[in-house]
Amino acid sequence: MQMLYAGGHPILADDKRAPNEDNPRGYFEYQPVRATARDVSWVGDAQGKAVKVIYLLIEHLPRNYFYRVILMHRDLSEVVASQAAMLARKGAAAAATPERLASIYDSQMAGVKRLLRSAPCFEAIEVGFASCIAEPRNTAREVNRFLGGSLDEIAMSHAVDPSLYRNRIG
């Protein structure tokens, strides 16, 4: 979302979730998205804008719109480590072992990818988190091409802050 914003793509976000230690540059979230499983009335307001949608909510998006989906892929062990660190800061613990959580996420993501391939209302690309950090210009070029070619790729690549790549595996 940082890259899209920096590149000049319109964003639908409400700033209700303030930056914090887990995400010091902000979340770029839109609160109504959280209720997508029950209420999709916000989708019409999102046309032409980038909106962060949690992967599990994609299946609830109405099929009478067309969506370009940028699916950010991150190593599942990094995702689990990141969530464990966030929960630890809140004094909580994960509900399952890291291996079990990774297995659950992997299965869920496979289902989302099947949906994105099969439903004609979706066009999707997958962007690797690690490769985005390592080579942001390549990612900016790929995303810009996917979105029509009108974004500022240099500004997009400068929005990437490698110091925020924590919980890195390897």
Task: Report pLDDT for 75.
Answer: 84
Confidence of residue 101 (pLDDT cuts 50, 70, 90): confident
Task: Report pLDDT for 84.
Answer: 67
Higher-confidence residue of 18 and 120: namely 120
Task: Report pLDDT for 36.
Answer: 98
Structure-token pair, residue 117 = 């391939």
**pLDDT tops 90 at residue 77:** no
CB atoms within 10 A of CB 105: 17
**pLDDT tops 90 at residue 20:** no
State the average pLDDT for the chain: 89
Task: Report pLDDT for 55.
Answer: 94
Q: For residue range 116-170, what is the model confidence (pLDDT) as tens digits?
A: 999 999 999 999 998 999 999 999 999 999 999 999 999 999 999 887 765 555 5
* pTM score, whole prediction: 0.84
